[in-house]
Structure 1
Amino acid sequence: MTNKHPLIYVSIAAALATLPATVLAQAASATADLNTAEMPRVTQAVNNSAVSIVGNSHLKFISSAKPTASVPDSMRMNHMQLILQRSALRTSALESLITAQHDPASSKFQQWVTPAQFGESFGIADADIAAVKSWLTSQGFTVNGVYPNKMQIDFSGTAGQVRQAFHTQENRYTINKVSHIANASDISVPSALRSVVVGIAGLNDFRPQPMHVPPQVAQYDAAKHNFKAKQTPASSAAVGTKPALQFNSSLRGFVPNDMNVIYNTTALYSSGLTGTGITIAVVEDQDMDVSDWPNFVSQFSLGGYGGTFNQFQPQLTPSTSNCTDPGGASPGGESIETVLDAEWSTAMAPGAHIWVATCSDSDTSNFFGGVFMAADNLINGTARPNVISASYGFGEGFTDTASKTAIDLMWAQADAEGISVFVSTGDSGSNPSFNGSIINGYGIDANSFATSPNDTGVGGTDTADILDGTTSKYFSSTPNSLYGTALSYVPELTWNTACGNTLAAKSMGFATALQFCKKSLKSDPFGFNVTSESGSGGPSSVDAKPAWQRQVLGAAKDQSRDLPDVSLFGGSYGGVSWVILCTGAYPCTPNFTSPVELVAGTSLSSPMFAGVQALLDQGLSNGGLSAYQGNAAPTLYALAQKQFRSSLAACNSDNGTKGTSACVFHTITSGGNSTNCLQVAAFDQVTPDCYFYATIPNLFDFYGPALVGLTSTSTSTYNNTTAAFAAQPGWNFANGLGTVNANNLLAAWKKFVHLP
């Protein structure tokens, strides 16, 4: 079980008690002059015989799936969330406030709100909440509590009660060989309540997956200064995770000092900015061994910066009991995702407080599971972090409307409270739902956790030195005292392990990626090296494009919230470059005399950027601003717009250190995240957004014939224009605005908010 750290609650309360009066006064005044008063919208008696269908309240693809069994009426469905619908007036008022909170010229700049203020001004009227609660109770449900945001009601019951009250049957379905439960049809609610009900988050269990590549266990070779793979977990040998070209067994394990040098956080450390006083929360559904973090800090000499670590289960007041210890703290049972998030946020902000907030998936029927509960309880709690990183994902095509609304509501509330949220965009190219497998049956999609306009989506890059043959220019042949070898910023390309990687194709002597793919298949007739592993990006089919994303050079000419916003290192072509973890099963030892675990993925990119934000928060706070900055994206786009107008060519990542030393963003123009996609005859599915270039007679020597292609916006033509998606100057779907020079980013941010 997890180490409980009982003093955390005392220290949190003490911290709140010492908040400057100006901060509390700002919270009080942020909503003081907002005219959001309104009459209750539930004005008729609730009649169970008069019901209205709630459209899009079940997963669309379930309609064409055949159930394997009905769920028994007795099955418990705990901690479902009834998501409420705010009025147009309050929706508009919230959007206006958040815009003003990010505008340095506004009188409401950085006047963040509390959860109670959020609920009072932007939630549902108390009388309407009482009406919904009363009806739920009358149907036999247990109402566990109403969130402070007054936008969600936590309740529990059985599948039979769900069927009776909401007029939908819970069934079991086998999707991709995994058994799931889901409601077979849209729900219905009493017509009297329809205007205040969005739906129920928790009627299916298609939960998001962590966005990392399965780790490899490797042993350091002191003579050659590299790692040799000793053991690859069975899951990482799965079909769809192999690169189109496998390099030799020599692996490179990046350490914190490498990322500090590449993204220039070292300059901030030299000026005393290490994240001191800033709290980063990583939200998880499984614990980690609490000895890992101090081992990581000790191994990489990060202990002198004063960072702290706490692993706990965030609770509401009064408690709804929807967050219990998920377990997994033993060396053999811990979550690699949790270890990765905790250690690599510290790697970038070694002086920050790290909160590992975990909730069990088994507590809830909610789609987002324990990760949702951990984040939501923090945002609605009495003590709130400055920064949150969430490294989980699923495409919008796998997310029902109520769950998507709940996610967007959560991040909007975080933004209004001043919390900066970073979310991994995914590890499978133009559709984030296929991490560890291959895109099939679905087209272009975007991570539903990241497409809110109130969070910052983080994609993945790869260092270009291996494919360019320039390693000796950017890396030392021998490590320094911190085990680092990076000498400076390194040119980057989109992380993409598939044959759609254009720089890889060029390095192999092919004019195009398509030629490379066709040639690769000749030596791989069963398609075992076909893969979709790549940093993800794409347009939302739900959320509209925010104003701050429209103006930047390269912005897609669509109406969608597009991903990613920014990127950092995520992985490498050929499986060469990784980052090092210190885990319970494989602790780090001085000089790496024992094996370690190496890992990659955009699950790395997000916590690293959260660490960068912690450095910014400290620097801005030292200048007199709030230690909370809210969603980083609006400011990042404003800064990028200015840079792209004046220094687009000079700040191209391909220039490396030369010419980019004064840049805030390194724009990524090499590569892209167009990956393999399949259409398998045996699956009787059509795969859209795929340009098919060949037929595999017997896929994986098992499934029979399949079409293999590359993700594309055209099914008849494949080139740099149609590839989904190519890197290009300015913003792009492959890497967003690019990666950052942290020191230059702080300087530009301070100028933007008029600090000296």
Structure 2
Amino acid sequence: MQRIHRSCLALAAATTLVAATTVSAFAAPSGSGRTVLGDSVAPWATAAHRLGASATATTVDFRVYLGLHGDAASFATAVSTPGNPAYGHFLSGADFRARYSPTQGDVNAVTSWLKAQGFKVGHVPDNHRYVEAVGTVAQAASAFSTSFSDYSFAGATLRSNATPLSLPSSLPAVQAVVGLDESAALTQPQASPSAPPPDVFVNGRPCSDWWGQKTVQNTATPDGTTLPSTPSAFAPCGYAGAQLQGAYGLSGAIGSGTDGSGVTVAVVDAYASPTIVQDVETYSAKHGLPSLSGHFSQVVAPGTFTRPQNTRQDPQGWSGEETLDIEAVHTMAPGADIVYVGSPNNYQDMDAALNHVVDSHLADIVTNSYGFSSEALPRGYIKPMNDTLIQAAATGISVFFSSGDNGDETDGVAGATPTPDWPASSPWVTAVGGTSLGVSQSNGRVFELGWETGKSKLSNGAWTTPAYLYGSGGGTSRLFSQPAYQAGVVPSALSQRYGGAAMRVVPDVAAVGDPTTGMLVGQTQRFPDGHDAYSEYRIGGTSLSSPLYAGMFALAVQKAGHAFGLANPALYAARSATLDITKADLGSYPGAVRVDYVNGVDASNGYTYTARWFDRDDNLTIHVRPGYDDVTGLGSPTGQAWLDSLATYGG
């Protein structure tokens, strides 16, 4: 049993990826008075997966996205690039809407058409990016000139339109329609606000309070099992508080007042944990962090329609994700304000939640620990969110996304298609990869390696051959051209991996993500006897990396005294103050022994012992190397020097 983040669950990683140099508008006249939305069929909606026609009376809710006007991308690039005369001259939300958003006339035209087709019309955000609507499958098939079928894919039955969607050409530029197919069901887990706490998980013992405290040589196993001498260290129980602040060299800055004060960090997830406030307060008191009282708020993003629950989507999953994200941000930016933004009622609304954060300017920094484990998606899922990210950059908001937990998404299988994850692959976000981290007794950084874990089991007193388990997501995009900030930094062997023009490579930066060396988090959990109580456990994934890095970046924003917008130009410019993560320490720190309770709670059913080997990327296409690499990007923060460098480049 293990605890890992929930950012990137199953998606069609095996589907064919279509090469493109950029993601742009994809509507085209059909010659019949209608405009076809190209690439609007889900990649998994193939004849081989088809089960039959969808039930026509099924309720379907969706959003019709309208495109931005003008060249918002060029403006966002200029205001986010140090040295550009426009740098830092961000627009207010109102100014952005006036200059680039769809007009009220655009909204009225789409609304009238939807109503004429029999749909009920719901929420329209202030930036007019979409019109929410609900109706039946039969109405959607008629309105968009398509048919709907059910498909068997990834262990689920999913609905999709069978042919590209189309709309009357007389309508204003419709960018995409999101929600008619069920691609989102493959990606974001769902949790009910009334769901019970998640089942308890307890760290197996022995585990170390700091790196190397307990080893095979100085600590006996509780059941007398003899372990090989290598790796020698028992895994940490989970780092917390001053350990993580010290490992990244930020204890002094935080202690002297550069603690994120005056900066707001938003966490976007789904729903809301009913015990989050008491859990974070308990956690803070136990680990030397200040109270979050007066610095925390929760917002449910607006939406009109209540969607049915889908129990296969892990009902308790999001409460753990929210807890991890908030405790991680609070650890690295204990003075920052944190706003939690919950997606309304359903897993498919993450794009709307992010749009709400950005358009309402709820925060200076946004961290997101979710995503699709591929770029193989209908462009309707990509282009609208990409435009939301452009608005974020143009209005001075820095957006961070987890890069994923499945390496290059091949599982080390020869011939499988490598891919980075979306939205981490967008050039408008800072993609945060994962590392394996050793923290000393004095809270210093012993080592930091690329997170690509190989797992061995114990067999006849020896470790079996390591098999790839999980690791930092990364790779070369097939959708996005190389952004200017990566030019001259990312090796051409990576940016031109597939030939042709240079492309975007993921991730940009990194922080600890390996569950073997992860963070200790605390939340209310359900014990086997049915009682609920606060308990702590070690957790990892790039879902940890992103909020940790976002918290550290909050310190940089405070020190610089201004917002950065898209953080990447400044981060790449300040790369000399970033720790370049290589394989240099791998010989001295090959891995750790992990002890787990068989039942995940206590020793009553015995123990399991596994070796977790660091940086085992043997069968992957992504590798740690000197300089920029596609596992850890530029690397991780180096404390005060990193803060000073960002303040200099951002001035």
- TM (normalized to structure 1)? 0.66
The AA in structure 1 aligned to 2:300 is: Q
- Structure showing greater relative contact order (alpha-carbon pairs closer than 8 Å, 6 or more residues apart): 2
Q: Structure 2 vs 1, CA of residues 457 and 104 (structure 1 numbering), >3 Å: closer, same or farther? A: closer
SS class of match (1:498)? strand
In structure 1, distance between residues paired with 2:395 and 2:309: 26
Deviation at 1:108, TM superposition (A): 3.0
Partner of 2:297: 310
Asked if structure 2 preserves the Cα contact closer than 8 Å seen for 1:421 and 1:631, the reply is: yes
Segments of 5+ residues of structure 1 without an aligned counterpart are 1-41, 229-244, 363-367, 466-473, 477-484, 505-515, 588-592, 644-663, 673-717
The AA in structure 2 aligned to 1:455 is: V
Q: Map of 1:201-216 to 2, 5 A cutoff?
A: 201-207=178-184, 208-209=187-188, 216=201
Q: Structure 2 vs 1, CA of residues 227 and 252 (structure 1 numbering), >3 Å: closer, same or farther? A: farther
Partner of 2:33: 50
Deviation at 1:395, TM superposition (A): 3.1
Q: Does 1:551 align with 2:488?
A: yes
Q: Does 1:475 align with 2:372?
A: no
Deviation at 1:582, TM superposition (A): 0.9
Equivalent in 537, 544, 547 of residue 604 of structure 1: 544
Partner of 1:59: 42
Partner of 1:17: none
Equivalent in 395, 407, 422 of residue 448 of structure 1: 422
In structure 1, distance between residues paired with 2:74 and 2:209: 58
Asked if structure 2 preserves the Cα contact closer than 8 Å seen for 1:281 and 1:389, the reply is: yes
Q: Structure 2 vs 1, CA of residues 320 and 272 (structure 1 numbering), >3 Å: closer, same or farther? A: same
Partner of 2:53: 70
Q: Structure 2 vs 1, CA of residues 246 and 530 (structure 1 numbering), >3 Å: closer, same or farther? A: farther
Q: Map of 1:388-467 to 2, 5 A cutoff?
A: 388-431=366-409, 442-463=416-437
In structure 1, distance between residues paired with 2:89 and 2:235: 52
In structure 2, distance between residues paired with 1:739 and 1:122: 35
Asked if structure 1 preserves the Cα contact closer than 8 Å seen for 2:578 and 2:635, the reply is: yes
SS class of match (2:446)? coil
Q: Map of 1:689-704 to 2, 5 A cutoff?
A: none
Write out per-residue CA displacement over residues 570-612 of structure 1, whole angstroms, 9 at most, x where no aligned residue.
Answer: 015xx3x22111111179xxxxx99522211000000001101
Equivalent in 78, 84, 93 of residue 66 of structure 2: 84
In structure 1, distance between residues paired with 2:469 and 2:372: 15
Q: Does 1:638 align with 2:573?
A: yes
Q: Does 1:669 align with 2:648?
A: no
Asked if structure 1 preserves the Cα contact closer than 8 Å seen for 2:476 and 2:505, the reply is: yes
Q: Structure 2 vs 1, CA of residues 183 and 561 (structure 1 numbering), >3 Å: closer, same or farther? A: same
Q: Does 1:571 align with 2:514?
A: yes
Identify the structure with the greater strand proportion: 2
Q: Structure 2 vs 1, CA of residues 182 and 263 (structure 1 numbering), >3 Å: closer, same or farther? A: same
SS class of match (1:335)? helix
SS class of match (2:63)? strand
Q: Map of 1:534-545 to 2, 5 A cutoff?
A: 534-545=471-482
Deviation at 1:385, TM superposition (A): 0.7
Q: Structure 2 vs 1, CA of residues 177 and 732 (structure 1 numbering), >3 Å: closer, same or farther? A: same
Q: Does 1:745 align with 2:642?
A: yes
Write out per-residue CA displacement over residues 479-507 of structure 1, whole angstroms, 9 at most, x where no aligned residue.
Answer: xxxxxx53x223221111137xxxx9xxx
Sequence identity (%): 25
In structure 1, distance between residues paired with 2:317 and 2:379: 33
Partner of 2:254: 269
In structure 2, distance between residues paired with 1:380 and 1:61: 32
In structure 2, distance between residues paired with 1:398 and 1:742: 37
In structure 2, distance between residues paired with 1:210 and 1:490: 35
Q: Does 1:138 align with 2:125?
A: no
In structure 2, distance between residues paired with 1:567 and 1:339: 21
Q: Does 1:736 align with 2:633?
A: yes
Identify the structure with the greater helix proportion: 1
Partner of 1:691: none
In structure 2, distance between residues paired with 1:719 and 1:427: 13
Q: Structure 2 vs 1, CA of residues 307 and 620 (structure 1 numbering), >3 Å: closer, same or farther? A: farther
The AA in structure 1 aligned to 2:571 is: L
Segments of 5+ residues of structure 2 without an aligned counterpart are 1-26, 191-198, 216-229, 497-501, 528-532, 586-615
Q: Map of 1:239-638 to 2, 5 A cutoff?
A: 251-288=236-273, 289-290=275-276, 291-303=278-290, 308-315=295-302, 320=304, 335-362=319-346, 369-381=348-360, 383-431=361-409, 442-463=416-437, 475-476=440-441, 486=443, 488-498=444-454, 530-552=467-489, 554=491, 556-558=494-496, 559-571=502-514, 575=516, 577-585=517-525, 596-621=536-561, 626=562, 628-638=563-573
Deviation at 1:164, TM superposition (A): 0.6
Deviation at 1:736, TM superposition (A): 0.5
Asked if structure 2 preserves the Cα contact closer than 8 Å seen for 1:146 and 1:153, the reply is: yes
The AA in structure 2 aligned to 1:736 is: G
Deviation at 1:210, TM superposition (A): 7.0
SS class of match (1:341)? helix
Asked if structure 2 preserves the Cα contact closer than 8 Å seen for 1:256 and 1:347, the reply is: yes
In structure 1, distance between residues paired with 2:345 and 2:231: 36
Asked if structure 1 preserves the Cα contact closer than 8 Å seen for 2:259 and 2:333, the reply is: yes
Write out per-residue CA displacement over residues 360-391 of structure 1, whole angstroms, 9 at most, x where no aligned residue.
Answer: 343xxxxx72332322112122x521111000
Deviation at 1:74, TM superposition (A): 1.8
Asked if structure 2 preserves the Cα contact closer than 8 Å seen for 1:459 and 1:536, the reply is: yes
Deviation at 1:530, TM superposition (A): 4.1
Asked if structure 1 preserves the Cα contact closer than 8 Å seen for 2:426 and 2:480, the reply is: yes
Q: Structure 2 vs 1, CA of residues 416 and 215 (structure 1 numbering), >3 Å: closer, same or farther? A: farther
Asked if structure 2 preserves the Cα contact closer than 8 Å seen for 1:86 and 1:123, the reply is: yes
SS class of match (1:282)? strand
In structure 2, distance between residues paired with 1:103 and 1:223: 43
Asked if structure 2 preserves the Cα contact closer than 8 Å seen for 1:274 and 1:305, the reply is: no
Q: Does 1:171 align with 2:149?
A: yes
Partner of 1:99: 77
The AA in structure 1 aligned to 2:354 is: A
Q: Structure 2 vs 1, CA of residues 215 and 167 (structure 1 numbering), >3 Å: closer, same or farther? A: farther
Write out per-residue CA displacement over residues 93-129 of structure 1, whole angstroms, 9 at most, x where no aligned residue.
Answer: x223222212444453322223332222112344444
Asked if structure 1 preserves the Cα contact closer than 8 Å seen for 2:476 and 2:495, the reply is: no
Deviation at 1:398, TM superposition (A): 4.1
The AA in structure 2 aligned to 1:260 is: Q
The AA in structure 2 aligned to 1:175 is: F
Asked if structure 2 preserves the Cα contact closer than 8 Å seen for 1:219 and 1:595, the reply is: no
In structure 2, distance between residues paired with 1:273 and 1:606: 20
Q: Structure 2 vs 1, CA of residues 210 and 420 (structure 1 numbering), >3 Å: closer, same or farther? A: farther
In structure 1, distance between residues paired with 2:580 and 2:378: 34
Q: Structure 2 vs 1, CA of residues 103 and 719 (structure 1 numbering), >3 Å: closer, same or farther? A: closer
In structure 2, distance between residues paired with 1:117 and 1:390: 26
Q: Structure 2 vs 1, CA of residues 298 and 74 (structure 1 numbering), >3 Å: closer, same or farther? A: same
In structure 1, distance between residues paired with 2:207 and 2:635: 34
- Count of residues in correspondence between the two structures: 551
Q: Structure 2 vs 1, CA of residues 180 and 734 (structure 1 numbering), >3 Å: closer, same or farther? A: same
- TM (normalized to structure 2)? 0.76
SS class of match (2:94)? helix
Q: Structure 2 vs 1, CA of residues 246 and 84 (structure 1 numbering), >3 Å: closer, same or farther? A: farther
Asked if structure 1 preserves the Cα contact closer than 8 Å seen for 2:237 and 2:520, the reply is: no
Asked if structure 1 preserves the Cα contact closer than 8 Å seen for 2:511 and 2:548, the reply is: yes
The AA in structure 2 aligned to 1:142 is: K
Q: Structure 2 vs 1, CA of residues 333 and 537 (structure 1 numbering), >3 Å: closer, same or farther? A: closer
SS class of match (1:185)? coil
Write out per-residue CA displacement over residues 504-548 of structure 1, whole angstroms, 9 at most, x where no aligned residue.
Answer: 9xxxxxxxxxxx9xx99x986xx9x74441111012222221111
